[in-house]
């Protein structure tokens, strides 16, 4: 570590100490200034997020969920497929894989199986409240979505 890094670490400790001693309510992330949003780190948990809303006397909490479906599975394939092969008229994941010419591969079979399994499962949860014009938001995405995204990329890598 350089001397500047050590100074920065010391300064960070001083800032945290000053904030704590003055009784400030701490929001553990910065405001996305272009969007007027302050995303809450999920590692801090929903309890602390709602505790802060309560301390700030927020009475309205906005919630939204989104469930994964076959359209999402098709969209993931289209995101990584060559544009000239994308057929926006397909209605099923199987038809999409067929239109891309990869339906017989093991990766495509795995993709069809896993996306069918997760069809209807919660993909996103969003909880939000507003304070002084800033939208404070707690957002979570299912961990399995990353695996499906990676598998979709492997499937479209097979396109010749």
What per-residue confidence (pLDDT) applies to 26?
Answer: 77
What percentage of residues in the chain have a pLDDT greater than 90? 65
| 7 within domain boundaries | no
Contact (CB, 8 A) for 64 and 122: no
Mean residue pLDDT of the chain comes to 88
| 113 within domain boundaries | yes
| 13 within domain boundaries | no
What per-residue confidence (pLDDT) applies to 41?
Answer: 92
Q: Which domain holds residue 40?
A: 26-157
Helical spans, DSSP H, in 3-141: 3-21, 46-55, 70-80, 93-99, 106-118
What per-residue confidence (pLDDT) applies to 114?
Answer: 97
Q: Whose CA is closest to 74, among 47, 96, 89? A: 96
| 108 within domain boundaries | yes
| 15 within domain boundaries | no
| 142 within domain boundaries | yes
Parallel/antiparallel/unpaired status of strands 122-131 and 62-67:
antiparallel
Count of domains forming the chain = 1
Contact (CB, 8 A) for 93 and 73: yes
What per-residue confidence (pLDDT) applies to 156?
Answer: 93
| 136 within domain boundaries | yes
Enter the pTM of the model: 0.75
In the predicted model, is pLDDT for residue 6 greater than 70?
no
| 20 within domain boundaries | no
């Amino acid at each position: 570590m350089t001397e500047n890094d050590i100074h920065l670490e010391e300064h960070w400790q001083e800032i945290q100490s000053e904030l704590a001693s003055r009784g400030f309510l701490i929001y553990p992330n910065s405001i996305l200034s272009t969007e007027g949003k302050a995303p809450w780190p999920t590692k801090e948990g929903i309890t602390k997020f709602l505790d802060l809303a309560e301390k700030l006397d927020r009475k309205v909490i906005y919630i939204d969920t989104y469930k994964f479906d076959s359209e999402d599975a098709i969209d993931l394939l289209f995101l990584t497929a060559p544009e000239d092969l994308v057929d926006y008229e397909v209605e099923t994941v199987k038809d999409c894989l067929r239109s891309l010419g990869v339906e017989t591969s093991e990766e495509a079979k795995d993709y069809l199986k896993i996306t069918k399994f997760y069809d209807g499962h919660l993909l996103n949860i969003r909880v939000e409240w507003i304070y002084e014009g800033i939208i404070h938001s707690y957002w979570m995405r299912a961990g399995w979505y990353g695996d499906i995204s990676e598998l979709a990329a492997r499937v479209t890598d097979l396109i010749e």
